[in-house]
Amino acid sequence: MFELSTQDRQAFTLFLQDLVRTPSLSCQEKVIAERLAAEMGAVGFDEVWTDRIGNVVGRIGPGTGPRLLYNGHMDTVGVGDPAAWTRDPFGAEIENGVLYGRGSADMKGPLASLVYGAKALIDSGVKLAGDLYVVGVVQEEPCEGYAMRVLVEEEGIRPDWVVLAEPTNLQVSRGHRGRMELQVTVRGRSSHASMPELGENAIYGAARIIFSLELLADMLAEDPFLGKGTLAVTRIENTAGSKNVIPDSCTFVIDRRLTLGETEAKALAEVEGVIARENVRAEVRLAEFEYTSYAGYFCHGVEHYPAWVVPENHALVETTVRAVREVVGRRPAIGKWDFSTDGAYTMGIAGIPTVGVGPGEETQAHTADECIRLADCFTAAQIYAQLAVRLLGEG
């Protein structure tokens, strides 16, 4: 059931090629948003609109009953080093059934599968007993969850379930670690570098804290399912009037991955403990971000994205596993993602049951020669149609 026809496969492929050929860096999703909205209208969604931050929302269903939301982000990371690519990152070339290009796996292929899954439902004549929303989300890459927060809290679209189409190679994902970006600022006192004893070198203070953090990193909490929390210093900068002046401040960035049970407060307290033990004049704080979406919405917040897990025996996980099995003929593996997703908000903050299933391999995300198998995209579309019927029921 819901298998894409030859004609639909051709239309899908052209649509996905269009998406890949349309660059869509975060905060620059205007053109791809228009393309997505046009396709949703063409395949017969009941309603298609763009919300205040620029998410494209398509809805099919009676306008009452439970709400199921399918999520796919429209933005991609940059190309990186062009020399690392052997294909045109915006060429959408197809070879042996594999489509190449930036965003093909993360996650324009999955996004196209959501749209064509909905088309398969519409064409089948099945009447859902609740509403299916397919949402093309903005700015997932820099601040995952933010645009979903706007949709849920400001636009009032609060679903009963969220399915993330991020790549899982058609397996089922039920969580991932969280992340935080921390900023440590070390204070010193400048003096002429020929008389360092008169100053206080902020770099030396930072070095003591950093060595201590390296030791702390080995002792972080571990969750049997999500694995270990991690900590890495990823950037360091200092201020000094010139190269012959003792630096009076030094700032460094910590990338902190949070496993289950590691809260913002706990992660901050650990670093504060290190600073106190090393007896360095320094403070740690959560980094902040500011962006303006392509639609002109001003976004600001802190760099904290919680870990989340949905229990393996949750009805949403079981129903998703069943829908995949019904389509592909075998039970999918149930696992987790290594990267972070919009689930950081939907399950991590809002507590909306969230699960992931998508075509494409997680390891393809953000790489040169990123690619996806078209056959897997077609299968995913079928799974999305099947899952919507299983979750919402027929009315």
Give catalytic residue positions. Answer: 75, 140
| DSSP, res 288 | E
For residues 107 and 135, which CB has a smaller minimum distance to Zn ion in the complex?
107
- The least CB distance from residue 73 to Zn ion, in Å, is 6
Q: Which two tokens stand for residue 41?
A: 């209208």
Q: Which two tokens stand for residue 266?
A: 């706990």
The whole-angstrom separation of Cα 106 and Cα 356 is 13
Which residues between 261 and 320 bind Zn ion (CB under 5 A)?
none
Which residues between 111 and 140 bind Zn ion (CB under 5 A)?
none
Q: Is 75 in the site for Zn ion (CB under 5 A)?
A: no
- The least CB distance from residue 207 to Zn ion, in Å, is 36
Q: Is 106 in the site for Zn ion (CB under 5 A)?
A: yes
Stretch that binds Zn ion, among 10-18, 77-85, 90-98, 107-115 (CB under 5 A): 107-115
Q: Is 370 in the site for Zn ion (CB under 5 A)?
A: no
Stretch that binds Zn ion, among 101-109, 174-182, 307-315, 378-386 (CB under 5 A): 101-109
For residues 106 and 262, which CB has a smaller minimum distance to Zn ion in the complex?
106
Which residues between 209 and 228 bind Zn ion (CB under 5 A)?
none
User: Which of 107, 134, 220, 282 forms a contact with Zn ion (CB under 5 A)?
Assistant: 107
CA distances from 82 to 17, 18, 86, 367 (A): 20, 20, 9, 11
For residues 57 and 107, which CB has a smaller minimum distance to Zn ion in the complex?
107
- The least CB distance from residue 74 to Zn ion, in Å, is 10
- The least CB distance from residue 106 to Zn ion, in Å, is 4
- The least CB distance from residue 233 to Zn ion, in Å, is 25
- The least CB distance from residue 132 to Zn ion, in Å, is 21
For residues 149 and 282, which CB has a smaller minimum distance to Zn ion in the complex?
149
Stretch that binds Zn ion, among 30-38, 79-87, 99-107, 156-164 (CB under 5 A): 99-107
Question: How many residues sit close enough to Zn ion to count as binding (CB under 5 A)?
Answer: 3
Task: Report DSSP letters for 62-130, one per residue.
Answer: -SSS-EEEEEEE--B-----GGG-SS-TTT--EETTEEESTTIIIIIHHHHHHHHHHHHHHHHTPPBSS
The whole-angstrom separation of Cα 55 and Cα 236 is 35
E strand or H helix that includes residue 7: helix 6-21
Is 39 within 8 Å of 118 (Cβ atoms)?
A: no
Per-residue mark of binding to Zn ion, 156-195 (x: CB under 5 A): ----------x-----------------------------
- The least CB distance from residue 175 to Zn ion, in Å, is 15
Neighbours of 88 (CB within 10 A): 15
Stretch that binds Zn ion, among 90-98, 102-110, 145-153, 254-262 (CB under 5 A): 102-110
For residues 80 and 393, which CB has a smaller minimum distance to Zn ion in the complex?
80
Stretch that binds Zn ion, among 103-111, 173-181, 182-190, 384-392 (CB under 5 A): 103-111
Which residues between 11 and 50 bind Zn ion (CB under 5 A)?
none
β-bridge pairing 230-239 and 371-373: unpaired
Q: Report the chain's terminal Cα–Cα distance, integer Å.
A: 18
Neighbours of 1 (CB within 10 A): 11
Cα-Cα-Cα-Cα dihedral of 336, 340, 346, 349, to 10°? 110
For residues 140 and 223, which CB has a smaller minimum distance to Zn ion in the complex?
140
For residues 105 and 310, which CB has a smaller minimum distance to Zn ion in the complex?
105
Instruction: Tell me if the bond preceding 107 is cis, omega within 30° of 0.
Output: yes
Instruction: Give the orientation angle of helix 374-392 with respect to helix 6-21, to 10 degrees.
Output: 110
Is 21 within 8 Å of 35 (Cβ atoms)?
A: no
For Zn ion, the binding residues (CB under 5 A) are: 106-107, 166
